[in-house]
Amino acid sequence: MNPATELTVLILAAGKGIRMKDPGRAKVMVELHEKPMIHYVVDLAYSLRASRVIVIVGYQRESVMAYIRQSHPDAEAVVQVEQLGTGHAVMQAAETLKGTKGDILVLSGDVPLLRKKTLESLIRQHRLSKAMATVLTAEHDDPTGYGRVIRNHDGSVEKIVEESDADPGERAVREINSGIYLFHTPALFDGLKHISPHNAQNEYYLTDVFEYFWRQHMVVSAVKASKFAEIQGINTIEQLEAARAAMSGPVRRS
C-alpha cells in the first residue's frame, strides 16, 4: 500500500435489522462476545491507518453514536434520516468529505468477521491497477440471491449482475459481490450525481455508480476474499450464532 494516499473509511450502519428479532435495537449494536458488531468494524478501519472513520447512522442512531463516542472517540458520525439505499447512505457524507482526494473504503457495520489482511489486499490491488473502484468478492457454493461478478479477460470487472437479471450462464457464476468497495473518492462522488432511484424500491443503489464508471470507460477491479464467511453480513439469528462460533474468542485481524 502507498501510505501517502489518504484513506477514509465509511461504515454503513443505519439499518434496522428486522430479522434479528430485536426491534428496539439497531442491528449493528447486537453483541458478539460482549461487544456490538460495529465495534469490530470500527476497530478494523483504524487498523488500516485510516485518516478518517465515518459511521453512517440512522435507526436508533442515538445509541449507536453514544457507543462510538465512548469506544472510538475519533470516529465521526453522519446521519441518514431516511434509509433510501446504499447509494443514498454514501451521499450523506458528500459535504463532510468535500475536497477529499484519496480513496474511500465502504464497509458494512454488520460484517464483523472481515480481516485486515483481506482489506490490505483490496487496497493494494486497487492502487496497482489504477482503478476508480475495486470490489471485494467471494466464491460461494450457493450464490442464490447474490449479485454475480462477471470479469473481463484481463481480470477487471465487466459487470455486476443481480440474480433476477442474470441469464443461465451468469447464474452459474459463483463469484459474488460482497457489498464492500474501495473507490477513488472524487470519482465516487461524481458518480453519485448520475444515479437515480428508478427501481421497484425507489432507492439509490451504490452499485449503480459502476454503470456510470463503465460508460466513462473507467477501470473497475476486484479482489476475492479467501472465505465467504468473512464477508457475510449478519441478518438473522442463525447467522449471528454462526459468527459467534467462528469467532470463538477474540477476533484475529491478521
CATH number of the domain encompassing residue 213: 3.90.550.10
Q: Which CA distances in Å does 130 have to 25, 44, 124, 127, 200? A: 40, 24, 10, 5, 34
* Over residues 243-254, mean pLDDT: 68
Phi, psi for 245 (deg, rounded to 5): -65, -40
Q: Is residue 1 part of a domain?
A: no
Other C-beta atoms within 10 Å of 230: how many? 19
Q: Is residue 215 part of a domain?
A: yes
How high does pLDDT run on average in the chain? 91
Residue 249 has pLDDT above 80, yes or no: no
Phi, psi for 29 (deg, rounded to 5): -95, 0
Q: Is residue 253 part of a domain?
A: no
Per the structure, how many domains does the chain have?
1
pLDDT interval class at 16 (50, 70, 90): confident
pLDDT at 251: 47
- β-sheet bridge partners, residue 12: 56, 108
3 burial type by CB count under 10 A (0-12 exposed, 13-18 middle, 19+ buried):
exposed
Q: Is residue 252 part of a domain?
A: no
Q: Is residue 154 part of a domain?
A: yes
Q: What is the distance between the alpha carbons of residues 64 and 53, in angstroms, rounded to a whole number? A: 14
Residue 18 has pLDDT above 80, yes or no: no
Q: Is residue 169 part of a domain?
A: yes
| Model confidence pLDDT, tens digit, residues 71-104 | 999 999 999 999 899 999 999 999 999 989 899 9
**CA-based nearest residue to 114, from 43, 52, 176:** 43
| Model confidence pLDDT, tens digit, residues 113-135 | 999 999 999 999 999 999 999 99
Other C-beta atoms within 10 Å of 248: how many? 8
**CA-based nearest residue to 37, from 21, 69, 13, 56:** 13
Other C-beta atoms within 10 Å of 155: how many? 11
Q: What is the distance between the alpha carbons of residues 113 and 33, in angstroms, rounded to a whole number? A: 12
Q: What is the distance between the alpha carbons of residues 124 and 139, in angstroms, rounded to a whole number? A: 20
Q: What is the distance between the alpha carbons of residues 220 and 183, in angstroms, rounded to a whole number? A: 9
Do 90 and 188 meet the contact criterion of CB atoms below 8 Å apart?
yes
Residue 1 has pLDDT above 70, yes or no: no
What residues make up the domain containing 74?
Answer: 7-247
Do 246 and 175 meet the contact criterion of CB atoms below 8 Å apart?
no
- Catalytic residues, by residue number, are 19
Q: Is residue 86 part of a domain?
A: yes
pLDDT interval class at 4 (50, 70, 90): low
Q: Is residue 225 part of a domain?
A: yes
